[in-house]
Amino acid sequence: MAEPFTLHEDPRSGNCYKIKLTAALLGLPLATRQYDIMQGETRTPEFLATVNANGRIPVLQIGEGSGVRFLPESNAACWYLAEGSPLIPDDRFDRADMLRWMFFEQYNHEPNVATLRFWLRFVGEGNLSDQQRGQIMAKRVAGADALRVMDEHLAARDWLVGEAATLADIALYAYTHKAEEAGFGLGDYPAIGRWLARVAGLPRFVTMDLHSRPG
């Protein structure tokens, strides 16, 4: 029954890490094929025609050969892998509330925290365009606001939704635990700090940097 899964990824990307962490927590085998986004390897005609017309990774490949299917968008790929598992809550409200945090992640958190990390850690501040440099301050403010919302929410609870880890925690862990690389001081967010340790303590957890080994 189990179809082979292949992740088209760049290991530096937190969006790719989400999917690897989901697979690891569920004990699902996941092959990887790596691309260097700095070299435009996800914008080649072949990639655009077969893997993702949007020219982005991660993409989860499900199956092989004539029945192969491709699923872009990190949080959708996590959902596919986790269906039927405890990482998606049974309760109807909690399930929607989990998606709420995953949309928050893509709208309020990733475009600020992940983009600043990419610019500052990988592109380098000196190589940014004037237009990018002009957005740094706004992204710092918006990213800090997203972290504040998370920290306040986590002050009185262990997990973002319900009483156990869900995909919401995985989705937001990915770039939050690298937020210092984006210039955010995690010491300002004590509830986030405790929650990060909780996620990293989950059975079968893998780290982002050594993702093929137990963390």
Binding residues vs a copy of itself (CB under 8 A): 53-54, 62, 69, 71-77, 79-80, 83, 92-93, 95-97, 99-100, 102-104, 106-108, 110-111, 131, 134-135, 138, 149, 152-153
Judged by beta carbon, residue 127 or residue 131, the one nearer a copy of itself is 131
Q: Is the previous residue joined to 58 through a cis bond, with omega within 30 degrees of 0?
A: yes
Judged by beta carbon, residue 136 or residue 207, the one nearer a copy of itself is 136
Gap between the Cα atoms of 59 and 15, Å rounded: 10
Judged by beta carbon, residue 1 or residue 210, the one nearer a copy of itself is 1
Q: Apex CA 39: angle with CA 35 and CA 42, to 5°?
A: 50
Measured in degrees and rounded to the nearest 5, phi and psi for residue 32 equal -130, 150
Three-state helix/strand/coil letters over 116-167: HHHHHHHHCHHHCCHHHHCCHHHHHHHHHHHHHHHHHHHCCCCCCCCCCCCH
Residue 93 beta carbon to a copy of itself: minimum distance, rounded to whole angstroms:
6
Q: Minimal CA–CA distance to 74: which of 15, 9, 6?
A: 15
Judged by beta carbon, residue 15 or residue 200, the one nearer a copy of itself is 15
Judged by beta carbon, residue 85 or residue 207, the one nearer a copy of itself is 85
Residue 215 beta carbon to a copy of itself: minimum distance, rounded to whole angstroms:
26
The residue type found at 63 is G
Residue 199 beta carbon to a copy of itself: minimum distance, rounded to whole angstroms:
21
DSSP symbols for 53-84? TT--S-EEEES-GGG-EEEESHHHHHHHHHTT
Q: Minimal CA–CA distance to 140: which of 196, 107, 185, 103?
A: 185
Residue 157 beta carbon to a copy of itself: minimum distance, rounded to whole angstroms:
13
Judged by beta carbon, residue 138 or residue 164, the one nearer a copy of itself is 138
Q: Give 59's strand partners.
A: 8, 72
Residue 107 beta carbon to a copy of itself: minimum distance, rounded to whole angstroms:
5
Residue 104 beta carbon to a copy of itself: minimum distance, rounded to whole angstroms:
6
Q: Which residue has the tokens 């399930």?
A: 95
